[in-house]
Structure 1
Amino acid sequence: MKKLGIHSFVWTDGATESGIEQAMEKSSACGYRLIELAYLRPEKFNLDRLAKKAKSLDLDIAVTMGLSPDADVSSEDASVVKKGEETLANAVKAVRDIGGSKLGGILYSAHTKYSTMPTDRGRKNSIAAIARTADIAKAAGVDLVLEIVNRFESNLLNTTAQGLDFIEATGSDHVRLHLDTFHMNIEEANPAAALRLAGDKVGYFHIGESNRGYLGDGVIDFDLMFDALLDIDYQRDITFESFSTKVVDQALSLACAIWRDTWNDSVPLAEHAKLFIETKMAEAKRRRTTNARP
């Protein structure tokens, strides 16, 4: 693990610049070295000021987002695809301008529950759009990572295998997968095996519980996941993600079906998550050492 991060929605709905700054301060105070922000609009926030704030706290920044239906690069409508590509290009520039390291999330389709199957033409449109976006991201020094999500949030990439086929089709060496234990728990027959299948194509990793709340209070077998992370020698960032209606913004509540408070106090949640992840990683390393002994 390179850096341990936390999603800003643990602290704030992201509606104000001061809220984001406070989220940075709280993340740093809890010992995190990366903060994940939702899509930043330059016209709304002073990215230079936020970049300086993060730097003063020694925080890296990741940005994740999902496309809206009217900017869906997996659409068959050329004008919609064009708008989606412009949105992605602007997002890459925003990540660059805020001094961030990566752009992830549902970049290849709309973030919504679809009522139709994906089409071959739409998939090809998405592949081409991501390939072009990868060129922009590479030139900007921004990693591009595609989040594999459950069937209720996209119809295109729901499994690691689908994601691997997709990034191979882009022909780009600058596109990796953004995997998430919450989504893998829903869609993968064997989440740990899927992680091993992805191997060095994993560019970013989310740790989230099956109920979106406290780690360890759901059904995910994190021991298996941390063993798999060691097996693939994962050396990139890991970010804790948890959503509660106590904090999260209305748009994400609707998109992710966050209908209740999974927690009420951010600080103990964040402190527990950091300790949980560090403990599980240490335990996995001890198991490896013990099993390696003759």
Structure 2
Amino acid sequence: MKIGCHASVWTGTFDEAGLRTAFEGTAKAGFDLIELPLFHPDDWNVELTKALAAEHGLAVTASLGLTDDINISSEDTAVVERGEKHLTKILEILHELGSSHLVGVIYGPMKKHMRTATELEVQHGQEAIGRLADRAAELGIRLGLEVVNHYETNILNTAKQAVAYVEQVGRDNVGAHIDTYHMNIEESSMFEPVLAAHAAGRLEYVHIGESHRGYLGTGSVDFDTFFKALGHVRYDGPIVFESFSSAVVDPQLTATLGIWRNLWQDGADLAAHANAFIRGHLHAVETIALH
């Protein structure tokens, strides 16, 4: 199991200075892994990223949400093709970085929708994910489809929906990416969705976030139950802390995620607290399992 931190805790720009800040901060806070928001693969400094990962001893994963122009769930096959090419570029970068996972809302646009998804949109998305999964398997990469709230997608809002979707895709290297921030909005409990995804063999990746995206333990997320669920199924995949503040995140992502109030300014203090919080809960659950 690797405990990680989303790079947006440290910076909203991923030029050389931003990458150095993110890697240095993540390592200093005691994490094992850094998750990069790889929205712009054409501009990404792969060699520097590889060097920084080696220098700081950090594993690397990547996440993103799609936009309308690269939506693989579009009814327009030309848009689907653009989206596949975009995600394939990211997979190739991750292969160079020795990464294990590409995750996030990689199955459709991350935005508020004004209607339900059509059958054709879902079909196109599943077919595209299948093709991407085949390429990812060749590169040794797994895909996690993030389950997010109904303000950010009209396709996957619950773990059960994700399991059903992934079963239709029918690839062994595709699973559900669950996130406590979103679960707290959509799910009826913090225990049952973990069990459901695990029982189907589809629990792939975990994000840890508080209900208000601030310091862990200061909101309404039932972390005690959630970590007991992870312990119950003996989950051993990546667990990544995610939090956003417009003091750090770029303006476009701030608008997409609706970050209208900042609950933190100091990413270093926030991240150190999160690392201790996550590891503390995992340790506590382990002691229960041993007795």
**TM over 0.5: same fold?**
yes
Contact 2:6 2:240 in 1 (8 A): yes
Secondary structure of the equivalent of 1:116? coil
Normalised TM-score (structure 2): 0.96
Q: Distance in 1 between matches of 2:42 and 2:165?
A: 32
Gaps in structure 1 of 5+ consecutive residues:
none
Q: Distance in 1 between matches of 2:63 and 2:235?
A: 20
Contact 1:182 1:208 in 2 (8 A): yes
Contact 2:141 2:173 in 1 (8 A): no
1:160 aligns with 2:159: yes
**CA shift in 2, pair 1:185/1:42, >3 Å:** closer
Instruction: Please give the per-residue CA displacement for 1:235-255, whole angstroms capped at 9, x wherever unaligned.
Output: 111011111111011121111
Aligned-pair CA distance for 1:95: 1.3
Q: Give the alignment of 1:1-294 within 5 angstroms.
A: 2-39=1-38, 41-199=40-198, 200-290=201-291
* Amino acid aligned to 1:236: G
Secondary structure of the equivalent of 2:191? helix
Instruction: Please give the per-residue CA displacement for 1:115-171, whole angstroms capped at 9, x wherever unaligned.
Output: 121001110000000000000111111111111110011100111011001110011
* Amino acid aligned to 1:202: L
Provide the alpha-carbon RMSD of the alignment.
1.2
Q: Distance in 2 between matches of 1:14 and 1:54?
A: 17
Q: Distance in 2 between matches of 1:170 and 1:278?
A: 34
Secondary structure of the equivalent of 1:176? strand
**CA shift in 2, pair 1:42/1:155, >3 Å:** closer
Instruction: Please give the per-residue CA displacement for 1:36-79, whole angstroms capped at 9, x wherever unaligned.
Output: 11015343232022112101211001100111111111111111
Instruction: Identify the range of structure 1 (145-154 vs 68-77) with the bigger mean alpha-carbon deviation.
Output: 68-77
Instruction: Please give the per-residue CA displacement for 1:217-275, whole angstroms capped at 9, x wherever unaligned.
Output: 00011110010001111011101111111101112111111112110111111111111
Q: Distance in 1 between matches of 2:158 and 2:205?
A: 15
Normalised TM-score (structure 1): 0.95
Aligned-pair CA distance for 1:280: 1.1
Gaps in structure 2 of 5+ consecutive residues:
none
Aligned-pair CA distance for 1:25: 1.0
Q: Distance in 1 between matches of 2:73 and 2:181?
A: 24
Q: Distance in 2 between matches of 1:258 and 1:62?
A: 24
* Amino acid aligned to 1:250: P
Counting aligned pairs with the same residue, the percent is: 38
Q: Distance in 2 between matches of 1:43 and 1:88?
A: 11
Q: Distance in 2 between matches of 1:8 and 1:254?
A: 18
Q: Distance in 1 between matches of 2:131 and 2:77?
A: 15
Q: Distance in 1 between matches of 2:260 and 2:14?
A: 19
Instruction: Please give the per-residue CA displacement for 1:52-111, whole angstroms capped at 9, x wherever unaligned.
Output: 210121100110011111111111111111111111111111211233221000011111
